[in-house]
Structure 1
Amino acid sequence: MEYLTTAELAKIWNISPRRIGVLCTEGRIEGAIKKGKMWLIPSVAQKPADARFRKDGC
């Protein structure tokens, strides 16, 4: 399995590396593992939905 760092994934998902770290800490990115101080995220991981908005539009 290929893993990406937060910086690499930040460019793909167009969000900050810090935000990706927070998502990993919250357990919202499946398969992410912490190796020392660095998060390793599977390259096939899906970007989690924004929790500020509900799916039904309210």
Structure 2
Amino acid sequence: MFEYMTAQEAAEKWNVSLRWVQRLCKGNRIEGVMNINRVWLIPKNAEKPADARKKLMKN
């Protein structure tokens, strides 16, 4: 069985705002996320998605 963390816990773990985690969840940017009774549940082993606003420079 999977273990889940809340959006608030993910925000603290990834050092981002709660609102940003909620936007990532709503945009399906986090694998395995579920919304139960307006509470986002994120798998504890989920990786922080890359910020799509930033371009990665390749050498």
The TM-score normalised by the length of structure 2 is 0.89
- The residue that corresponds to 1:5 in the other structure is 6
SS in 2 for 1:40: strand
Matched residues, percent identical? 46
Q: Who is 2:27 aligned against? A: 26
Q: What amino acid maps onto 1:10 in structure 2?
A: A
Counterpart Cα distance in 1 of 2:16 and 2:10: 8
1:10-44 deviations in Å (ceiling 9; x for gaps): 11000011110100000000000000110000000
| Residue matched to 1:56 | 57
RMSD: 1.1
Number of equivalences: 57
**Runs of at least 5 residues in structure 2 that lack an aligned partner in the other structure:** none
Query: Runs of 4 or more off by more than 2 Å in structure 1?
Result: 54-57
State the alpha-carbon separation in 2 of the partners of residues 56 and 14 from structure 1.
Answer: 23
- Gap regions ≥5 residues in structure 1: none
